[in-house]
Structure 1
Amino acid sequence: MSASVTERPAGAGAATGGGTPAPAGAHLPRPRPGLALAVIAGCNAMIQLDDPIMNIALPGIRADLGLSVLAASWVIGAYLLAFGGLLLLGGRAGDILGRRKVFVAGVALFTAAAAVRAAVPSGELLIAVRAVEGAGAACAAANGFVLMLSTFAEGPARKRAIAVCTAVGAASTAGGLLLAGALTSAGSWRWVLLLNVPMGLAIVLLAPRVIAETERIRGRFDLRGALLSALGAAALVYGLSQAAEHPWTDGLVAGPLLAGLVLLSVFVGTQRRAAEPIVRLGLFRDRDRALAFASMLVLPGGLIGAYFFLSQFFQQHHGWSPLEAAFGLLPVPLTMAAVAGVGVRVERAIGPKPMMAIGTAALVAENLWLSYLGPGDGYLTGVLPGLLLLGAGMAFCVIPPTVLATSGLRPEELGSAASVLNALQSVGGSLCIALMVTASAGHADFSDTMSAGFTAGAAFAAAALLIALSLRPRRR
């Protein structure tokens, strides 16, 4: 794969695949891999930062807009439904229309919605804007990742790019948590919701100048497949989000989950027969790639417990402010950013299987360590060791499955692989948090609830460890 790919001119040549490529430099910016990576990593960081921003701002939103608990959950859920449901469609749109074009459009939509949400007068409008924001994030995430893969050739350069995106995302999350906590403590939640807007505007302005457009793939939209995948993924995410508050046998949980499974089963059947599928099922024939995809369903469970439970632990048992709680969680992204820097060299030295096994084993140890945390335990001896293990484990777990899922593919297959990877991570996050909340339910004391949640997190990390051990050893 070349370092940058060219776009064929519109017309008969592009439609038939028999035309000649556009003259060098006719439609493309001068390749700037470093700047392109900075823009793509910035987009990744912006999307990652949005979730903690909303969680920090949500108490103030509820108070000012008079939202019930159910309505407040929809402020988060509307975004997740749109994001998880439209990832595959966003990736296919990039195939046909051009990835840079769809990427910029997605970032612009996300940024506009982020600006509007800060001025909404009602909860209903906020929920609608959040759905629009999720749609923009889906288009940006699905295509930004493939633009990175297209910009850097397969091998060490691409692995370094993945590590840089991981480190930048972690570092920006750390800074964003502190800034959001400070703004929440000192001002209105509306100011917090504007944090992503300057970064989004910068990405929209810079992307066309530093990122080369990808070659458009001849084809058309599979509208039936797009509808089935969007509705199926959205139903699954919705059912799993409701499982955090209702029994699994409740109609609000079982109904959407069953509908989602049926819709996705029909979707898989249509992709087998489709001439131009949204998801290329041949991707799953490679054993290591299939295992890398499977790891994305369980890895979130080993990662999210610290943010979900410890932020409450700091404030309920230690009386910390939101800003102090953000400071308490800083070791996770800072360690992740530091370890990601050496992750490429480690992967090259020992291979993806041992690296992922070490990372998942660290997550098992971290969750078990924090499952014994009690109200009387201090931060330095009780919490910090677990956070350091979590940060290092996350860095070691991100690079191997990402590399395995996207290696050895033709350019026209990269979009499908990246969309599947993102979609499984989204569904996996919803699945893991629902199961963790279910496992921790029924305890009167928060310490017992937190302990059960971290025990469930250790089980998810152990499942990821088994997947890592099932990978084939690296060929010498």
Structure 2
Amino acid sequence: MSTSLTAAPSAVRAPHRYGLALAVVVAGQTMILVDEMIVNIALPGMSTDLSLGPVALSWVINAYLLTYGGLLLLGGRAGDILGRRKVFLTGVALFSLACLARGLATEPWMLITARAVQGVGAALTAPCVLALIVSMFAEGPLRRRAIAVYTAVGGLGAALGLLLAGTVTSASSWRWVLMLNVPVGLLVLLAAPFVVRETPPHPGRFDVAGALSSALGVAALVWALSAVGSEGWRDATVQLLVAAGLALIAVFVFVERRARQPIVVPRLFADRDRVCAYLAVLLVQGSQIGQLFFLTQFLQQGLGYSPMQAALAFLPVTATLLALAGVVVKLQPRIGARPLVVLGAVMLIGSNLLLSRLDLDTRYPTDVLPALLLLGAGIALGTIPATVLGTSGVNDDETGSASSVITATTTLGASLALAVLVTVMTAASTRAATTPPVGLPAEAVPGYAFLHGMSAAFVAGAVFAVATLLVALFIRRRPVARR
């Protein structure tokens, strides 16, 4: 049996107005990425106006994560069976309506419910974005360029979200911030039917047992990981959720191996390179998410940056990512994915280690900027080739499943990595606070502990990058492509 699946024969090799179609599809992904940033900026305003306590405020985040993470695999399979454009537009519509509803919410339950619905919309949209790209562009240069754009928009969306949130929050209410995506969603809904071709539906039935076990298992793990930062790994609820999540995932694997039409096609994991690509996408999250999470706090709390200044400080990451995307696209067919992912992992190791040396005397041009340039380059080299590899050689009726695996590993990788990094930081900060240097003033101890914990978290991020490098070494070498 061949380890590579047959490429989709119906893929369009030169779609009419493919640039506009790509822009519309990627706009759906941008909505999700921008929203993840603006919600964090709006949390203080929500807490004040709706009298949200710590528990309710945490559910503003968790309600979205549970439905989003739990339904990703189902969203990808729904696109395969029902038609990817149809499911994509359904997701965008739900996401946009939920954005409007949460901005108009007058009670905590209304806000939390809207966030849960928003997660459902995102779970239908995200896997169909990548699946539509793979369906529109046949394997080759066009698809690699499209995936490069898809990946670059990730960095651009994060930066844009910070800038928009900082600007709108300074000028108006948090409610307007939460409704920023509504007009974008309307534009996507109006334009997509005219420029994005529908993929042919593939008759089949939904794997109910697989959908339930995967949704509940992933939701339990995401819930546990989101609670680790505040409760710690020793909390009984966290341990129970982790055990339940792992047990349900085991049930999911058992069901999928016996299902006639599984929600995730087992053949996707028969190819060693594709499995390595999935692992690389998962692990690389740990080497980058800590830099975005902790460095944002350090710039504002440690160096006194405003939210707008902190957002601008991250623009070099986006610029580097955009600049290298085209280079990666040209190099991959010539030298293969392995050397690119290895080089990206090395850059992410260097970026984390540079940031682990930050202190209150840090200067942005000499201490922070070089690390951010390495971060942008590492994301481009580590993510684009792995995404291309993970979606190559897939049958047309399995594109949504393959895309949902990529999206799910990205989401789970980010949640798992952030939980691990927060735990590392908390432990290191606690040790530093209990044993500060002799003569350090009491008012300086919290800052010293934060720096010590942040440094430990960046070292842990470098460990994730090392793991990415090791996984990349198992990707098979590819012969140099001929013209």
Q: How far is the alpha carbon of 1:409 from its aligned partner? A: 1.4
Deviates more, 1:449-458 or 1:345-354: 345-354
Aligned equivalent of 2:436: none
- Structure 2 residue aligned with 1:255, among 236, 240, 248? 240
Cα distance in 1, alignment partners of residues 76 and 285 from structure 2: 22
- Structure 2 residue aligned with 1:319, among 297, 304, 327? 304
Cα distance in 2, alignment partners of residues 62 and 178 from structure 1: 21
- Structure 1 residue aligned with 2:318, among 333, 342, 367? 333
Aligned equivalent of 2:3: none
Q: What amino acid maps onto 1:335 in structure 2?
A: T
Query: Do the aligned residues in 1 keep the contact of 2:33 with 2:161 (CA within 8 Å)?
Result: no
- Structure 2 residue aligned with 1:81, among 61, 66, 83? 66
- Structure 1 residue aligned with 2:230, among 231, 234, 245? 245
Q: TM-score, normalised by structure 1?
A: 0.92
Aligned equivalent of 1:236: 221
Aligned equivalent of 1:9: none
CA shift digits 1:88-132 (9 cap, x unpaired): 111111122111111100000001101111111122221111110
Aligned equivalent of 1:428: 413
SS in 1 for 2:197: coil
Query: Do the aligned residues in 2 keep the contact of 1:31 with 1:212 (CA within 8 Å)?
Result: no
Q: How far is the alpha carbon of 1:328 from its aligned partner? A: 1.6
Cα distance in 2, alignment partners of residues 133 and 279 from structure 1: 23
2:56 equivalent to 1:52: no
Q: What amino acid maps onto 1:148 in structure 2?
A: I
Q: Which runs of 5+ in 1 are unaligned?
A: 6-29
Q: What amino acid maps onto 1:469 in structure 2?
A: L
TM alignment of 1:10-21, pairs within 5 A:
none
Aligned equivalent of 2:438: none
Cα distance in 2, alignment partners of residues 70 and 371 from structure 1: 32
Aligned equivalent of 1:350: 335
Cα distance in 1, alignment partners of residues 198 and 253 from structure 2: 30
Cα distance in 1, alignment partners of residues 105 and 140 from structure 2: 46
Aligned equivalent of 1:193: 178
TM alignment of 1:270-349, pairs within 5 A:
270-349=255-334
Runs of 4+ in 1 over 6 A off after TM superposition: none
Q: What amino acid maps onto 2:181 in structure 1?
A: N
Aligned equivalent of 1:221: 206
Q: What amino acid maps onto 1:324 in structure 2?
A: Q
Q: What amino acid maps onto 1:451 in structure 2?
A: S
Aligned equivalent of 1:365: 350
Deviates more, 1:347-356 or 1:286-295: 347-356
Query: Do the aligned residues in 2 keep the contact of 1:3 with 1:152 (CA within 8 Å)?
Result: no
2:461 equivalent to 1:457: yes
Aligned equivalent of 1:95: 80
2:423 equivalent to 1:419: no
Query: Do the aligned residues in 2 keep the contact of 1:280 with 1:416 (CA within 8 Å)?
Result: yes
Q: TM-score, normalised by structure 2?
A: 0.91
TM alignment of 1:71-220, pairs within 5 A:
71-220=56-205
Aligned length: 452
Q: How far is the alpha carbon of 1:225 from its aligned partner? A: 1.2
- Shift of the 296–4 alpha-carbon distance from structure 1 to 2, 3 Å rule, reads closer
2:433 equivalent to 1:448: no
The percentage of counterpart residues that share the same residue type is 53
Q: How far is the alpha carbon of 1:339 from its aligned partner? A: 1.6
Aligned equivalent of 1:397: 382
Query: Do the aligned residues in 2 keep the contact of 1:41 with 1:169 (CA within 8 Å)?
Result: no
Cα distance in 2, alignment partners of residues 427 and 176 from structure 1: 21
Q: What amino acid maps onto 2:80 in structure 1?
A: D
Cα distance in 1, alignment partners of residues 334 and 479 from structure 2: 12
Q: What amino acid maps onto 1:347 in structure 2?
A: Q
Q: What amino acid maps onto 1:93 in structure 2?
A: A
Q: State the superposition RMSD in angstroms.
A: 1.4
Q: How far is the alpha carbon of 1:247 from its aligned partner? A: 2.5
- Structure 1 residue aligned with 2:424, among 404, 422, 439? 439
Query: Do the aligned residues in 1 keep the contact of 2:355 with 2:368 (CA within 8 Å)?
Result: yes
Q: How far is the alpha carbon of 1:309 from its aligned partner? A: 0.7
SS in 1 for 2:229: coil
Q: What amino acid maps onto 1:473 in structure 2?
A: R
Query: Do the aligned residues in 2 keep the contact of 1:111 with 1:200 (CA within 8 Å)?
Result: yes
Q: How far is the alpha carbon of 1:244 from its aligned partner? A: 1.4
- Structure 2 residue aligned with 1:467, among 454, 468, 471? 471
Cα distance in 1, alignment partners of residues 325 and 44 from structure 2: 33
Q: What amino acid maps onto 1:168 in structure 2?
A: V
Query: Do the aligned residues in 1 keep the contact of 2:334 with 2:479 (CA within 8 Å)?
Result: no
Q: What amino acid maps onto 1:161 in structure 2?
A: A
Q: How far is the alpha carbon of 1:31 from its aligned partner? A: 4.2
Query: Do the aligned residues in 2 keep the contact of 1:142 with 1:419 (CA within 8 Å)?
Result: yes
Q: Which runs of 5+ in 2 are unaligned?
A: 1-7, 434-448
Cα distance in 2, alignment partners of residues 348 and 222 from structure 1: 36
Deviates more, 1:299-308 or 1:62-71: 62-71
Cα distance in 2, alignment partners of residues 252 and 298 from structure 1: 26
